[in-house]
Amino acid sequence: MITVGLADDDPLFTAGLSMILDAQPGIRVGWQAGDGAEALRRHDLDPVDVLLLDIQMPGTDGLTATKRLVTSQAPGKVVIVTTFDTDDYVLTAIEAGAAGFLLKNTPPDELVAAVRTVHRGDAVISPGPTRRLVQRVRARPAPAAPAQVLSAAERRAVDTLTERERQVLTLITQGLTNQEICDRLWLSMPTVKTHVGNLIAKTHARDRVQLVLFALRTGLVGIGDALQHAVR
């Protein structure tokens, strides 16, 4: 049974999510909260597997709650729920340790699939959100030479990647799933999973979202290339 916690200052939104998720086999909503502080308290008393947090809430927002959960090594994976149109903190939330992000207008079947994906230990990242993520990275002031700001560990990680791993990383950055990578590169699923596992181990990333950030930060994947393909 996958347990889920919901936090949003719009009770109608959380009530709707709860109805959708509780109707699915193997998923149960453990609690609903009106802000990040309440979510932290509820999660401390009744830990859940997946937390869906709105990033903009009064008091303790989703970003602050995510940082506290990750820093304290609390159980459960965080998924940020956002509109993107008004949210300036999505990239920061991902860097803080969120397992992914969903648009508030995500279709119910995709939302359910996202919860199951995160519970399996993977991350929620799709072409639409990837495009917005890349655009936010592009909007930040860029250094004259990316290599100048890389740490020694990042340079070592880049140097250890094989050509095939770089290909897989590029496709992950474009928002492709493992199955889509299999189809694109004519590889078996176990082989793709091995490459993804190696990428996570070599880059010390938490998940696919962190791999995307690593690829963009180190210049392994160009922002223009990611934007060109990351379209839904």
Identify the residue whose tokens are 């020694």. Answer: 152
Domains of the chain, earliest start first: 2-124 (3.40.50.2300), 139-229 (3.40.50.2300)
Contact between residue 53 and residue 68 where contact means Cβ atoms under 8 Å apart: no
So what's the pLDDT on residue 50?
A: 95
Nearest to 128 by CA among 112, 108, 104, 95: 104
List the structure tokens of 78: 């965080």
Q: Quick check: 48 pLDDT over 90?
A: yes
Report the range of poorest mean pLDDT among 147-151, 189-193, 195-199. 147-151
Place 23 in a pLDDT band, splitting at 50, 70 and 90. Answer: very high
pLDDT, the chain, mean? 81
Q: Quick check: 10 pLDDT over 90?
A: yes
So what's the pLDDT on residue 209?
A: 73
Q: Quick check: 185 pLDDT over 90?
A: yes
Q: Quick check: 73 pLDDT over 90?
A: no
So what's the pLDDT on residue 91?
A: 66
Place 131 in a pLDDT band, splitting at 50, 70 and 90. Answer: low
Q: Quick check: 144 pLDDT over 50?
A: no
Contact between residue 191 and residue 201 where contact means Cβ atoms under 8 Å apart: no
